[in-house]
Amino acid sequence: MQRWFAALTLVLLLAMVGIRTLLMKRKGIRAFYFGSIDKKDYLIPPFALFYFYFVFANAFNWPSIIQRAFFDSPIISWIGVALCLMGLSVLLGSLISFGKSFRVGIDTQHSGRLVTTGIFAFSRNPIYVAFAFVLLGEFFIFPNWILLLYIGAGVWLFHRQVLREEEHLKRIHGKEYEEYCKRVRRYL
């Protein structure tokens, strides 16, 4: 059951972001700016697709390059499910709190309002926190070296993007953003 939930988590994660992006497009708001600032971002999708395949392969016994796990513990696997649920919940709360300001990537042309309420009153970057919960949860369900490497790479990529977004928000919102940074932590 935990294995299936790991695969379902990825489907729900993509569905939430995709649906939110499409709903905004229907309102005339372009929300997808991935790769518009740095074309090297387009190197990420192939690695993400491999990650998705790897999780699905382990969940449904498809051919995989590795089957060996660091440990086999149903308790830790259920903790992984709980982390995935937390990640999905934080992501949903983030998408709701973001409102019309949600973007995938950095929109340099039409900056939305600075969101500091809802889940953003507790974390300046709850979407990245949600993704980190999911990565860790998936690793607890499938504890192997590939998913461990993805945790490290994911955290590095998230932090890289956060630093870019912070620079953009400082330019756009100035003192208001600086005051927000003093009140609310970057992650947790």
pLDDT band at 148 (very low <50, low <70, confident <90, very high): very high
Using the predicted structure, report yes or no on whether residue 151 has a pLDDT greater than 90: yes
- Strand, helix or coil at 33? strand
Write the DSSP symbol of residue 114.
P
Residue 43: predicted pLDDT: 87
Per-residue pLDDT of 69-109, as tens digits, reads: 999 999 999 999 999 999 999 999 999 999 989 999 988 88
Burial class (CB in 10 A: 0-12, 13-18, 19+), 130: buried
Residue 66: predicted pLDDT: 79
pLDDT band at 132 (very low <50, low <70, confident <90, very high): very high
Contact 159, 129 (CB under 8 A): no
Taking the C-alpha atoms of residue 148 and residue 71, their distance in angstroms, rounded to an integer, is 13
- Using CA atoms, how far residue 134 sits from 19, 107, 118, 153, 170, in Å, is 19, 26, 21, 14, 29
Residue 112: predicted pLDDT: 79
Residue 129: predicted pLDDT: 98
Residue 109: predicted pLDDT: 85
pLDDT band at 61 (very low <50, low <70, confident <90, very high): very high
Residue 36: predicted pLDDT: 82
Per-residue pLDDT of 22-37, as tens digits, reads: 999 999 999 988 888 8
Residue 65: predicted pLDDT: 84
Residue 28: predicted pLDDT: 93
pLDDT band at 40 (very low <50, low <70, confident <90, very high): confident
Write the DSSP symbol of residue 113.
P
Which structure tokens are listed for 18? 């995709």
| Domain annotation for the chain: domains and CATH numbers | 2-59+78-183 (1.20.120)
Taking the C-alpha atoms of residue 108 and residue 99, their distance in angstroms, rounded to an integer, is 18
> What mean pLDDT is reported for the chain?
94
Using the predicted structure, report yes or no on whether residue 67 has a pLDDT greater than 80: no
Q: What is the mean pLDDT of residues 149-168?
A: 96
